[in-house]
Chains A and B, each alone.
Chain A
């Protein structure tokens, strides 16, 4: 069965510093991986996805994610954090049947000024 783990409930970084939000996955077959962001009292916004090809995926708002097949990881990164990046971040994998996204529990990112 597919699963996603986000090992950190919260990540704290200072503005201007690089940030990493971790995600590991377990799938049978090809992994189709997604990152979403949820701002307070808002819906989920799509950031980026990995389907195939280049292991470094670039997405919205300056975010990128690195796919590592050997470590079964798909960590979200940004070179320089902004206070406005503070939000709840979800990693997800699409199940092989295409019926659902399997979500991690989410990681709260807090960027201090």
Chain B
């Protein structure tokens, strides 16, 4: 199993541009999520999904959209990039939706810079 994969690894955008960060997992996990990591702030939840066709907002959803058309894929879309979205983005998955004891497994991350 490849686990959780993310592309691209690095991206530089100009303010106002849009892009999609890709995330895929091959473990048939129900739950997938996106976090952003900022220095001194730990990781914060952006959006999550408990299964195909179901998504919901996390702590910091503004400026981001998600969709989940398949179990495997959970892309994150930046509609109009802003410098405040400069961050490292991590995708994560866990086997069962809303099971608080499940371990979440993280992808390698995407480092995004918005100029």
Interface residues of A (CB under 8 A from B): 4, 9, 30, 32, 34, 36, 42-46, 49, 51, 90, 94-101, 103-106
Indicate if the CB atoms of A103 and B42 lie closer than 8 Å.
yes
**Which residues of B (14-33) have their CB < 8 Å from a CB of A?**
33
A47 to B31, CA, bound (A): 20
Which residues of the other chain, B, contact A105 by a CB distance below 8 angstroms?
40-42
- Residue of B56, B99, B106 touching A43 (CB-CB under 8 A): B106
Interface residues of B (CB under 8 A from A): 4, 33, 35, 40-45, 48, 56, 58-59, 90, 92, 97-109
- Residue of B40, B98, B104 touching A101 (CB-CB under 8 A): B104
Indicate if the CB atoms of B101 and A90 lie closer than 8 Å.
no
A44 to B59, CA, bound (A): 19
Which residues of the other chain, A, contact B56 by a CB distance below 8 angstroms?
99
A3 to B111, CA, bound (A): 26
Indicate if the CB atoms of B105 and A106 lie closer than 8 Å.
no
Interface secondary structure of A, over-half rule: loop
Known pairs A43-B107, A43-B109; A100 contacts B59 (CB<8 A) = yes
A104 to B106, CA, bound (A): 16
User: Across the two chains, which residue of chain A brings its CB closest to B59?
Assistant: A100
A105 to B42, CA, bound (A): 4
User: Across the two chains, which residue of chain A brings its CB closest to B31?
Assistant: A98
A104 to B99, CA, bound (A): 20
12 A-B pairs besides A44-B106, A94-B100 with CB distance below 8 A are A4-B42, A32-B101, A44-B90, A44-B92, A45-B106, A46-B104, A95-B100, A98-B97, A98-B100, A100-B58, A101-B104, A105-B41
Indicate if the CB atoms of B103 and A99 lie closer than 8 Å.
no
Which residues of the other chain, B, contact A103 by a CB distance below 8 angstroms?
42-44
A34 to B97, CA, bound (A): 17
- Give the shortest distance, in Å, between A1 (CB) and chain B (any CB): 11
Known pairs A101-B43, A103-B42; A32 contacts B105 (CB<8 A) = no
